[in-house]
Amino acid sequence: MINELEKDIDRILFSEDDIRKMVQKVAAQINEDYAGRKPLLVVLLKGSVIFAADLMRALVIDCEIDFMKVSSYSGTHSTGVINIVSDLRTDIAGRHVIIVEDIIDTGSTLFKLKGLLESRHPASLKICTLLDKPSGRKADVSGDYIGGTVGNEFIVGYGLDFDEKYRNLPYIGVMRNS
C-alpha cells in the first residue's frame, strides 16, 4: 500500500538510516558528557517525541524524562507568540536538564523556554536538537547537541509536521512547493 502522505513530499532529505546515525551521534556525546550523572530530558511535544524515544534507547546513562507542550507555529510559519500549553511536573532545581527539540528554526520558542527553565535554577541546562536550521534564526539560541543541519526548506516526517500531518513518516522529507 502506498503511503497517502508521500504524494506531498518532493524528496527525502534524511533517510531512516541517516536519522539513526544522527541519533547515535548525539547519544554518544550525551553519554560521554553525562557519565555518572542523571540528566532530566525535557521533551518538547509533539514534534520531539519520536526523536526523544530513539534518543533514550541509545543512551546508556541513567536519565529521567518529562514533557512540555509549547506552541508557536501555524502552518509553515512561526506566529512569534509562544504559548506554554503544558508545563513540567518535575522540579528541576539542582538538576542537569537537557531540552530535547526536533528542530531549531527561528529559535524564538527555545529562547523563551530556556529563560523560563533557567529561572527554575537547574544545575545545568543544555539543548539537544535533531536538526538545526540556522537560516531561519531570529533569536540568539543554539543547540549544544545537534544531529544535523538543514537549509531553508519546510521539512516533515519523523515527528515534524505540517498542521499535524506527516509526523508518522519514517524519514524526513521536503514538502512540495515549500
Q: What is the tens place of the pLDDT at every residue in 114-155? A: 999 999 999 999 999 999 999 989 999 999 999 999 999 999
- Tell me, yes or no, if 87 is annotated catalytic: no
pLDDT at 12 over 50: yes
Q: Does domain 4-175 have CATH number 3.40.50.2020?
A: yes
Catalytic residue among 105, 140, 144, 163: 105
- Per DSSP, the three-state class of 69 is strand
Domain residues of the chain, as ranges? Answer: 4-175
Taking the alpha carbons at both ends of the chain, their separation in whole angstroms is: 26
Global model pTM greater than 0.85? yes
Q: Which three cell numbers stand for residue 78?
A: 512561526
